[in-house]
Structure 1
Amino acid sequence: MSENTAVAVAGAERAPYVDAVRKGLSEVLNKDVSGAEESVRLFDELGLDSSSALELLITIEEILGVQFDAEELEMTHFETVGSLADFVAAEASA
């Protein structure tokens, strides 16, 4: 993500995307992760796997009413709650 994109989705503007990731994770994992810090690792700490990652993206798309470009996805987007929120924010504002 470029610095301009990071600045554009910083602060309060970014909060809805972080919330959407947490809500999506809670639905997909069937457990409350609404208070998960942005540094929480999706695979290592929350137990996300490749099939639940796909389900998570679909769930977030439904929550936000957006559609992501699958070609833009990289594994680094799924490292943490925060990194996925950054990807979601960038895609939703594109």
Structure 2
Amino acid sequence: MDRQNVRTALENALTDVLERPVTGLTGEVKLFDDLHLDSTTMLEMLMALEDSIGLVVDPEDLDADDFVSVDTFTDFVLATRRERAVA
């Protein structure tokens, strides 16, 4: 899985969770400030990504810094998937 695949999956998950089209995300888009996510929608987004790309996240691994922007979240997803592949 590469950055574009993660971004596409994120757009699809956000479209479902926010119940409005979310397209054309760039790395600088702020998840909370620009997209107006809150803790509930963030959890819903994680569950949607779990279903669509098999993302498995240990709540202990969650850090607020991973959810600042599309880029930081993409980095988090890719790192999480790499860790699972190595284990």
* TM score, norm. by length of structure 2: 0.85
Among all aligned residue pairs of Structure 1 and Structure 2, give the percentage whose two residues are the same amino acid.
Answer: 35
AA aligned to 1:61 is E
Give the distance between the partners of 1:27 and 1:93, measured in 2 at CA.
26
Question: C-alpha distance in 1, partners of 2:10/2:50?
Answer: 10
Mark the runs of 5 or more structure 1 residues left unpaired by the alignment.
1-8
1:61 to 30, 45, 50: 50
Q: 2:70 aligns with which of 75, 81, 86?
A: 81
Q: Does 1:44 align with 2:33?
A: yes
The code of the aligned residue for 1:57 comes to L
- Segments of 5+ residues of structure 2 without an aligned counterpart are none
Q: Which runs of 4+ in 1 moved over 2 A?
A: none
Aligned 8 A contact 1:21 1:84 in 2:
no
Aligned length: 83
How many angstroms apart in 2 are the aligned matches of 1:66 and 1:41?
A: 21
Q: Which residue pairs with 1:70 in the alignment?
A: 59
Task: Compute the displacement of 1:18 (Å).
Answer: 1.7
Cα shift readout 1:22-65 (whole Å, capped 9, x = no counterpart): 21111111111121211110111111001111111111111102
Give the aligned CA root-mean-square deviation in angstroms.
1.4
Supply the distance in 2 between the matched residues of 1:87 and 1:63 (Cα, whole angstroms). Answer: 16
